[in-house]
Chain A
């Protein structure tokens, strides 16, 4: 994303491109990374409900992989995940592992 000079700015810092936050990848803020263990997932979609961003991709009513471009690693999904028979379907791991 090119950073504009002062003559190119919209008056009053109004953002005219609706939804342009998608251009700003916030995944790099992450120090912990959620890992999805599909074998323990009961597809309750708690993670999708609780995610404060939109980092759980859902297709046809079923969750898929994380959207790591925007997941900041807050860990709420892992905390809320009921898992299966006491085994979590989401676990937090150190980034870079």
Chain B
């Protein structure tokens, strides 16, 4: 059986990558991802993996090299953070458009300016529309588990799409937690032997990749790409079912916490969900029916399922660790779109919290839940979008 360890998020994901042993990994160091790939590079130099590691001159090159290696027919992984992900932007769309199942842990970091290296979801939210599957992780255990499942999801023959595994910079990447590693042979058997689809290095069957597609066909290729995304939810659930058999840990499209009979709830991603759950418990002890929903699969977004889970609430606060300046937070936009088709829907508010690594404190969750209690009482809300934890 597995091994109980004390590990940081970066260490845990590096360990998952060691166990998976990808064929190629092209990466460029960027805080707070650096320590993850440094650990993985040590596995390469110590002969613990067979991976061909490519140390490139930028993240644009890292993703380009990953695309080449994946198109060639290899199992490929990389990792990045914040501005590194931003520099990959052009190539992200190439990876998904070419249907290459590259797995990339994204150690979430803010974007400049002002220059900041800390935990924030602006990076991955900026890549929201790039055609990548996105799995989000609350802690080191989830980041490790999601990394292992990401290979099975992306490499599924009906899917063949790249996958980002998001974990919060520093808060998770650099904090030590108790967690459980699976045995090497269990992970190896779970991810299975890599099967390529139309690989370029199959010299018996020459082919062309990355062609110019003009207006007579481009629209059809995008329609096909949309169709693939509609199949992802089922695959994510199937893979989670298999993963439960080897780990005992359950995963879904999202996690619900004390939500079944709740009247008020917060929707919140990643590490801050842990803090918010404690405060949900405090409110429950006070007799207030509070709950929480933590999305796991953000792309494709499970609109119907989220709507079903939230439909009986009276008020819900959707919390974003990223802003869309001049718009609502990205998570709010998804959840409000999900709830829109319902005739009866909860009152929705949006709070922007924790930008650039600002701590999300228990009192922030308290303020939000208190406000939701007040909204339920009066049936009125002040503002839809508001910053919390900000100095006046």
Contacts and interface: CB of A to CB of B under 8 A. Distances in A.
Contacts, number: 52
Nearest to B197: A11
Nearest to A19: B206
Given A15-B207, A16-B207, A18-B207, A9 B198 contact: no
Contacts of B213: 13
B383 interface: no
Which of B160, B207, B213, B224 is the most central at the interface, judged by chain A CB atoms within 10 Å of its CB? B224
B206 A11 contact: no
Nearest to B210: A13
Given A11-B99, A13-B98, A16-B198, A5 B220 contact: yes
A9 B207 contact: no
A4 interface: yes
- Interface majority SS (helix, strand, loop, mixed), chain B: loop
B198 A11 contact: yes
Given A6-B223, A6-B227, A14 B217 contact: no
A9 B224 contact: yes
- Interface majority SS (helix, strand, loop, mixed), chain A: loop
Interface in A1-50: 3-7, 9-16, 18
Contact of A12 (B97, B216, B220, B223): B97
A15 B211 CA distance: 8
A12 B207 contact: no
Contacts of A9: 217, 220-221, 224
Given A16-B205, A16-B207, A18-B206, A10 B220 contact: no
Contacts of A4: 217, 220
Interface in A43-61: none
A15 B208 CA distance: 5
A5 B217 CA distance: 8
A9 B223 CA distance: 10
24 contacts: A3-B216, A5-B220, A6-B221, A6-B224, A6-B227, A9-B221, A11-B198, A11-B224, A11-B228, A12-B98, A12-B100, A12-B160, A12-B209, A13-B97, A13-B211, A13-B221, A14-B98, A14-B209, A15-B207, A15-B209, A15-B211, A16-B198, A18-B205, A18-B208
